[in-house]
Structure 1
């Protein structure tokens, strides 16, 4: 205990080799993500997008309107993200449903830094890290740039960095909860966007309402007042000291919260337009 109080640093001498292996696995998964997306884009998402939009323009002779091509690409992008986020949510619930720290924040720190991380939680970490790391490059070189491009890029960089660093410094319990709090809202968001593209008004409105509520509760209440509060204050109650670089981890989480407030203001604006005018459009869809 004395050495922990003086350093606040997890002992990596024993698990250093294992850490390297796990990061290599995560890097391999990162390289597979764009390949998987490319295969699904042509084999699954494009045909599905054309059916969702109910257009036969691709089967008729002549050129396809540019506007329609862009709309198909947007639906394909949302289908990809919906597939990924739904998979991550299912994997997260499977990995964390029986972990005591899912409901008790003091368990974030019990036994730190030598905490046992189950294999299923390690898998959840690796898949989440691979997706967000690959998303940085896909955002730069693949996806259409929208008005919040720089905020989204900052979000992906901060998230992938937080995943990698939190695992390295034995913050996997905190990190896995943060990831689980993020996934449901993303599922609702991409589902609402697909319904909006297809002019399915009732499903789009229902999913948008679920997005609004989940974003508020998970990202703007539980994340700051449960997770970040535990990082800033609860950790000292359990361990009796503040781990080294705990402030840095908390700062990155606070950065994510600031970004969530920015996006929530956009969501609230869309909701207000819907209530007051009966119609709403996503300002992110406009190009820079």
Structure 2
């Protein structure tokens, strides 16, 4: 078998599996691979198997309808309504949920297709040789691409507000409620915010259909809290807070995913370890120091703009998110300890157990000529 191809799990050539397609063999072939099997039953299994073609049909249907009938209902899925030309802003409206639906669907298609047809072939060309490393490279590559775009756009949006301070301390904490309530948002901020909302809702789907990591419960808790905070920020018209949270969280993920990609293609520790050290500094600075400024601002001023129950609910969610960040910070310190103790370089400490073989996600296709 070619070293650049994807391997099938052991046992996938049993007689009972002969009626399955090549992709189904990879999913069902190993009886010990329970997490993959568990998360691909019923409706979720069907959705996992059609992460490319299913969303593509929906996206093309909406785009085609809009192309043929520009003033039809399809327009609501692609553009926000209630534009105020005088202020060049979009007012908040329930129709915004159509945009959310479209981009949750679009992100599902984009992630699966980019991983399958761009990042996995790239991983093979760059030297990844096992199914595990090819898949991990694709996952982290997608994260790196998305967060690089979202962080750059988010920083542009936050610098349009009085909240922006400087590159040392990003936020003026006393300006988070400037122009409250923000029922109308500038065009670029409106699209940025709802694209982020769509991405995080889509990430919930990803967690449900793919094999869980060791920190699955922490991840699902993190995603739930994030989606709740986004929903509250839109409902309470405090999207400046939300934008600040986004930019303080995204930067560390860019560096971490880049370092992991280098690790998966066999780059030496002399390159990967400095990237990880940079990641550690950025993580502590953005997710604890800068994010701490955001929690402080809401705690100090938020009670003047909402009810007592809402105020303390938001504080609870913000602190829960910070607690999860400390949980992962402890994992980072463990990785550093192992790195120096074993001199083995950076290891993804939250991946599945090594003795549990990964399977290629059901949306990932490869040429059957590479099979055994």
Residue 141, structure 1, aligned to residue 141, structure 2? no
Structure 2: gaps (5+ residues): 1-90, 166-171, 357-372
Residue 243, structure 1, aligned to residue 306, structure 2? yes
1:113 positional shift? 2.1
| Residues 89 and 184, structure 1, Cα contact 8 Å, conserved in 2 | yes
Distance 1:100 1:281 in 2: 41
Shifted more, 176-185 versus 144-153: the winner is 144-153
Distance 2:216 2:312 in 1: 28
1:184 positional shift? 0.4
Select 2:317's aligned residue among 252, 255, 264.
Answer: 252
SS in 2 for 1:19: coil
TM-score (norm 2): 0.65
Residue 261, structure 1, aligned to residue 326, structure 2? yes
Of structures 1 and 2, the larger Rg is shown by: 2
Select 2:123's aligned residue among 32, 45, 49.
Answer: 49
SS in 1 for 2:95: helix
1:54 positional shift? 4.9
Distance 1:81 1:132 in 2: 12
Matches within 5 A, 1:1-288: 18-55=92-129, 68-103=130-165, 104-114=172-182, 116-142=184-210, 144-200=211-267, 201-224=269-292, 226-235=293-302, 241-244=304-307, 245-279=310-344, 280-287=346-353
Instruction: Kindly indicate which of the two structures has a greater share of residues assigned to helix.
Output: 1
Distance 1:131 1:202 in 2: 34
How many residue pairs match? The answer is 256
| Residues 129 and 160, structure 1, Cα contact 8 Å, conserved in 2 | yes
Superposed CA offset, 1:227-264 (max 9, x none): 1111111345xxxx352212211211111100000001
TM-score (norm 1): 0.83
Structure 1: gaps (5+ residues): 1-16, 56-67
